[in-house]
Amino acid sequence: MDAVRRVLIGVCGGIGAYKIPFLVRMLRKKNCEVKLVLTPSARTLVGQEALAALSGNPVYLDGESRYDMDHIRLSEWTDSFIIAPATANTIAKIAAGIGDNLLTTLCLSIPEEKITVAPAMNTVMWENKATKANIAALGSRGISVLPVGTGPLACGTSGPGRMLEIEEIAKHLLSHSEGKKNGWQTGLRCDKQGVSLTGKRVLISSGPTEEPLDPVRVITNRSSGKMGAALAEAAIIMGAARVTVVSGPASEPLPRGAEVIPVRTALEMQKALVEKFPSADLCIMAAAVSDYRPLNISESKLHRSEEEIFTLELAPNPDILAGLGASKSPCQFLAGFSLESGDEISRAEEKMKKKRCDMMVFNRADTALGGDSTAFTLLFKDGGKESFPVMGKLEAAQVILAKIIDNFHRAAPCGDI
């Protein structure tokens, strides 16, 4: 049985507060002890009795003298403090070091590396310069800031600003405790200030591309998109500020906290990546890009003939990764995947050099393609090499990101990742 993890949840007055009872239940099922503290404005949005019953602990509120010195007792008690939903107002107060209620005072008495905020607000407020500066201030102090989801908002509009789904919040919290057991796991990295993905913008390409021959037929690759989805999820769990996925038509669903740019062809994928790359700190090319595309695309469906051999002329697609490698700044980290049918690790090394990337993930088609797990070897441009046994793709994604963080830290002169 895992050790009990003590999670303190700080609830602010955002509409997403109604989801917190579900988070409490989820964490308790995962062997966590849970306590809650509510800001005055959260009290009207979520039932205190329900929270007390679900957590098995009293709910902490302002101005109740029986909880004198709570800001010290609770800070001694907790392993993780998650503020969800975190409103723009509370985020601003944390950024400024104001402690005008129990929740914000706790942010002054609990070490920053134990604190995570899950922001939730209207899109305009999320994009406001003051909020952006406050979020950056939290990240620079070692507080984990989870990304927001995109979708319908309580105000009736739709856009970025939703609180991250509670399943992903729970995974983020649990990855902290996992890391304590397994030295190389990401949780360990998240526990140390400055080595999580906090504040970093992550760009991932994922899935196959499709190259049309005619209105109904395509040339494609056997890519499920599972590795790209796992990388996006792991980056969110590790507190990346923004996770953008440029995704070909894959069956695997992508996490809600990611910004998704759907594309079909290699040229469309290239256009989206070239546009997003300059504002990314870290880019991972996990997509299986079609190497060629039909030279001519028929406007109408091609018809079958049993007499004639059908010859198809193919034009090479651009090497997207090589293009990004050529334009990369020293502050960016670029990683590619090299899937081979055998043990051709030297091919992966050659590709890393040719495409000027910082790291290459080598894996084999027989253990990686389509499945939920993969074995892999990481190759670094300084000659470093590390092999890992078969593991689930989410776990593999966490290892890959943790190793990138380690390497980025050592290699990039301006990489404060």
Residues found near ligand C5P in the complex (CB under 6 A): 205, 266, 285, 287, 289, 291, 317, 319-321, 336-338, 351
- 3-state DSSP assignment of residue 205: strand
Render the burial of 254-266: b for 16+ CB within 10 Å, e for the rest. bbbbbbbbebbbb
Reply yes or no: is the peptide bond before residue 85 cis, omega within 30 of 0. yes
Q: Choose the catalytic residue: 12, 155, 190, 414.
A: 155
Token output for 285: 């090319």
Q: How far is the CB of 259 from ligand C5P (least distance, A)?
A: 19
Q: How far is the CB of 281 from ligand C5P (least distance, A)?
A: 18
Nearer to ligand C5P, 67 or 292 (CB): 292
Q: What are phi and psi of 211, to 5 degrees?
A: -115, 115
Contacts of 346 (CB under 8 A, 6+ apart): none
Q: How far is the CB of 2 from ligand C5P (least distance, A)?
A: 36
Nearer to ligand C5P, 42 or 289 (CB): 289
Nearer to ligand C5P, 125 or 322 (CB): 322
Q: How far is the CB of 364 from ligand C5P (least distance, A)?
A: 12
Nearer to ligand C5P, 178 or 319 (CB): 319
Q: What are phi and psi of 68, to 5 degrees?
A: -55, 140
Nearer to ligand C5P, 11 or 289 (CB): 289
Query: Shortest CA distance to 393 belongs to which of 241, 270, 225, 207?
Result: 225
Query: Shortest CA distance to 351 belongs to which of 328, 335, 372?
Result: 335
CA distances from 357 to 11, 315, 327, 417 (A): 42, 25, 11, 17
- Give catalytic status of residue 331 as yes or no: no
Q: How far is the CB of 365 from ligand C5P (least distance, A)?
A: 11
Q: Helices (H) and strands (E) in the chain — how many of each?
A: 15, 20
Would you name the residues annotated as active-site residues?
155
